[in-house]
Chains A and B, each alone.
Chain A
């Protein structure tokens, strides 16, 4: 039932930027795009969210395509602590539908 598509896994080198893509071609006009990440043995944690405009916060940036059918989470300088499963989620009702996410590996 997931409405998003993400690569299963990605690798990055420490201190380099990481671009995590997400496709959501069936997004509706009122759906917000949320990103959460789950570190090993922890519950998911909020990263960022947006509707139409690009968003920045202390953790990451979110770039949203003009047609909103895709988005990209950008970690500007990956650290070993960023190794996690990253979930892209559409929220338009009172529930969050997670897909399988992207497992990010950060190499020193």
Chain B
């Protein structure tokens, strides 16, 4: 069983650009969540997808959007990048929908730098 993988590892963009980050969940995991982790802080929940539908969202603007695909892969898209979007972006997959008891398996993250 492979773990959660993310690509790319690092990425540099400039203000105003758009970025797509990718995540491959563990096989059989129907739920994927995305988090933003600024330097020195805990991860902040962006949104969660279950079976290709958004299933919960944190306090992030609409320019943060996502997609989940049937093959257990997912994307995080960020439009109109701002300097404050510089962070480590983490995805996590879990097997079910209960949320409150599901163990989440995190990927290593993508480090995004916005110049």
Contacts and interface: CB of A to CB of B under 8 A. Distances in A.
Asked if A and B bind, the verdict is yes
A108 B40 CA distance: 25
A95 B42 contact: no
Given A32-B100, A49-B101, A95 B45 contact: yes
A44 B99 contact: no
B108 A95 contact: no
A4 B89 CA distance: 22
Contacts of B27: none
Contacts of A92: 100
B68 interface: no
Contact of A98 (B40, B44, B97, B100): B44
Interface of B: 4, 33, 35, 40-45, 48, 50, 55-56, 58-59, 90, 92, 97, 99-101, 103-109
A44 B100 contact: no
Contacts of B44: 98
Interface of A: 1-2, 30-32, 36, 41-46, 49, 85, 87, 91-101
Given A95-B45, A96-B33, A101-B42, A46 B100 contact: no
29 contacts: A30-B100, A31-B100, A32-B100, A36-B104, A41-B108, A42-B108, A43-B92, A43-B106, A43-B109, A44-B43, A44-B106, A46-B105, A49-B101, A91-B99, A91-B100, A91-B101, A93-B100, A94-B55, A94-B97, A95-B58, A95-B99, A96-B35, A96-B45, A98-B35, A98-B42, A98-B44, A99-B42, A100-B40, A101-B42
